Structure 1
Amino acid sequence: MAPFDSVTARLILLLAETGSIGRAAEREGIASSAVSRRVSDLEARLGVVLFDRSAHGVRLTRAGEAYAEGCRGVLRAIADLDAVMADFSSGQKGSLRLACTSSALTGRLPELLARFAQKHPGISLSIGEMGAAKALLALDEGQADIAIVSDNYDFSRFDIRPFEDERIWVLAPPEHPLAPQIDPRKALPFADVLPHPIVGVHHAGSLDRLLVEAASKTGKKLEEALRVESFPALVRMVEAGFGLGFVRSTSLHLLAGTDLVCAPLAEPWAMRKLLVARRKSSPMSAAMRGFIALCEETYSPSS
């Protein structure tokens, strides 16, 4: 049997994630035919079918699921070996790969990274902005050393530490019917918001999941006027009068220069935490230890 091919292994995982040869090829910057050929050659060599193919895309077979899980394990081991080797150096050189949500990058993380970079000038930083689910998947597959994500996910496979406290706030234009009740000094009950259309953001993202679950527990659904993919866009659409909006406290700076009114939600579930997560089984490089220590040293819990 031919030796393990890490390039093909990454393609297998990318196909499993995207369900599309075309999207996988685009992400890797190679031709679709090259992706198909690699998969077909691998299937022929293994003597199994890894993907069910249809007009709608590709999906792992049971054999494919087993092979993909094996690929994840090998790629994790390779990533872990790199981390172990980095610790043999003086600690003055190395790398730190972060997978972060937009909430983390609009909070205190940039300033914290600046402090870390000043203290460790030989450590190269790689920062990927993505949703929390993808950030945790990046940890699982050894594509990131640390993830900074919201707290409403399954963290049983990860070691977690608090990073930043945040509350969910509601936004409205001053002419909105609910505006007279919105005061930043007073918490607003979620039930008062539910009858009004909203501007949604990041479908299936952590904030979206949190709000949908909270509405479901009341037996109601959020009425979306429209949906956007970024918080600056959400603020602009709320300004334009499309509906109410929700942001985390780490994004309130986006309201600067607007006449929007805002208030924190009153419910306990609206007070959340951003967490620093790492795989329990991954070795701790000097860079990871330094960054986590800095996070713990500067974390200040809300009263």
Structure 2
Amino acid sequence: MVEIPKLTYFLAAAQTNNFRRAAELCSVAQPVLSRQIAALEADLGVELFKRTHKRVHLTEAGREFAVYAQHALEALHQGQQAMTELHEGERGLVRMGCIEGFAFDRLPEIFTRFYQRYPHIRLQICIRGTDELLQLVEQGQLDFVVVGMTFDRGKPPETLMVQEIFRDRLHVLVAPHHPLAQLKGSHILLEQVAREPLFLLSEGFGARRVIERVYEQHGFPVQPVVEVDLIEGLKALIKLGIGVTFLPPSMTRSSLSAELVALPVADLNEEFVFGLVQRRFDVLSSAAKVTMKTFLQDLRPQAS
């Protein structure tokens, strides 16, 4: 007999290709998960995984069954959710994560419209760096996250699914009265920027990694005058007009023109990919799906 826990364990193993990792995600001992998957294979009369020393891989039957298993769990969850919503209306708790740039610059305007449409959906918002947010959503502690990624950090784990929202090129950020701001519209090179005092985010931030790599490629030393772990703190320092930093303009939208100036650098072509990330094969609540759809719709039209 095919039971719900067996489907859950099977999908976790299907997304990780590793029984130990799948057991961790399901909060069960690995032998328990292995026995349940073996029992599922016996129920179905087919081999779902090819087992090697350290990893497992779906067979052709396993890949096909994963589609049906996902649909079955979604249908069950939708039925349960429908009964809840029939009794309570459109409501629920959504746990989402967001990088700081969006949290202070874009989230307030999106939330205002969202709350008017869905007043009974409660949001728990976690503001962290990209790496930590990806870890939290992978562990199932968050329903989805909005993050910025760079190609230097490699692909996200196979357990996660990314919906790209937009891309934004890295710019140098200065105060309006800084000498570089007077060159707006001119052909600015990284060599000119590298002569200025450098303010950077702390180690572990994507923008910091990109700048270190680019400076090293051009033979410039990376010697930040100040390092901070908050974008708002970094922006406050740049407003003083004594140094420069690098950020995508979309993460400083509310501060541009009046307080800060974002300038393209001709020989700096690094892009950030902003995306919405969730667990692959995860079964989200209706409230989480509505929230995700709203954020995608509100962020994508403004990408240009």
* TM norm structure 2: 0.64
Once residues 230 and 164 of structure 1 are traced to their aligned partners in structure 2, the CA distance between those partners, rounded to angstroms, is 23
SS at match of 1:136: helix
Shift of 1:287: 1.7
Tell me how far 1:242 sits from its aligned partner: 4.5
Structure 2, unaligned runs of 5 or more: 1-18, 34-72
Q: Measure, in 2, the Cα distance between the counterparts of 1:119 and 1:247.
A: 33
Name the residue aligned to 1:34.
none
User: Which residue of structure 2 lines up, in the alignment, with residue 300 of structure 1?
Assistant: 301
> Partner residue of 2:244?
244
Q: Is the 8 A contact 2:25 2:139 kept in 1?
A: yes
Number of the residue aligned with 2:159? 157
- Per mean C-alpha deviation after superposition, the further-off stretch among 134-143 and 260-269 is 260-269
- 1:135 deviates by 0.4
Partner of 2:174: 172
CA distance in structure 1 between the aligned counterparts of 2:190 and 2:254, rounded to whole angstroms: 22
**1:253 aligned partner:** 254
Q: Which amino acid aligns with 2:170?
A: I
Taking the aligned partners of 1:128 and 1:295, their CA distance within structure 2 comes to: 15
Match of 1:135 among 129, 133, 136: 133
| Distance in structure 2 (CA, Å) of the matches to 1:146 and 1:163 | 14
**Distance in 1 (alpha carbons) for counterparts of 2:93 and 2:279:** 17
Query: What residue is the counterpart of 1:89 in the other structure?
Result: 84
Give the number of equivalent residue pairs: 231
Alignment of 1:212-231 (within 5 A): 212-231=212-231
From the superposition, tell whether residues 283 and 189 of structure 1 become closer, same or farther in structure 2 (CA, over 3 Å). farther
Q: Which runs of 4+ in 1 moved over 6 A?
A: 66-69
* Distance in 2 between residues matched to 1:123 and 1:187, nearest whole Å: 48
| Aligned counterparts of 2:287 and 2:188: Cα–Cα separation in 1 | 42
Q: Structure 1, residues 86-116: CA drift from partner, whole Å, max 9, x if none?
A: 4652261211111110122134333223322
Distance, in Å, in 2 between the alignment partners of 1:288 and 1:187 is 45
- SS of residue matched to 2:295: helix
Paired letter, 2:162: I
Give the deviation of 1:74 after TM superposition.
1.7
Q: Is the counterpart of residue 72 in structure 1 residue 25 in structure 2?
A: yes
Deviation at 1:199, TM superposition (A): 0.6
Kindly report which structure 2 residues correspond to 1:193-204, keeping only aligned pairs within 5 A, or say none.
193-204=193-204
In structure 2, relative to structure 1, the CA distance for the partners of 1:117 and 1:204 (3 Å cut) is same
How far apart in 2 are the matches of 1:93 and 1:236?
Answer: 39
Inter-partner Cα distance in structure 1 for 2:121 and 2:83: 14
The structure-2 alpha-carbon separation of the partners of 1:245 and 1:283, relative to structure 1 and needing over 3 Å to count, comes to: same
Task: Name the CA distance, whole Å, in 2 between partners of 1:67 and 1:127.
Answer: 30
Name the SS for the 2:226 alignment partner.
Answer: strand
TM-superposition CA deviations, 1:141-185 (whole Å, max 9, x none): 11100010012243243222233443433233466554543x1x4
- Report the CA distance between 1:229 and its aligned residue: 2.1
Partners of 2:116 and 2:303 lie apart in 1 by 27
Q: Secondary structure at the match of 2:140?
A: coil
Separation (CA, whole Å) in 2 of partners of 1:108 and 1:175 = 26
Deviation at 1:247, TM superposition (A): 2.9
Matched residues, percent identical? 20
- What secondary structure sits across from 2:225 in the alignment? strand
Alignment CA distance shift 1:291-1:233 (3 Å): same
Give the conservation status (yes or no) of the 8 Å contact 1:103–1:248.
no
- CA change 1:252–1:221 in 2 (3 A) is farther
For residue 261 of structure 1, report the CA deviation from its aligned partner. 4.5
Q: TM-score, normalised by structure 1?
A: 0.64
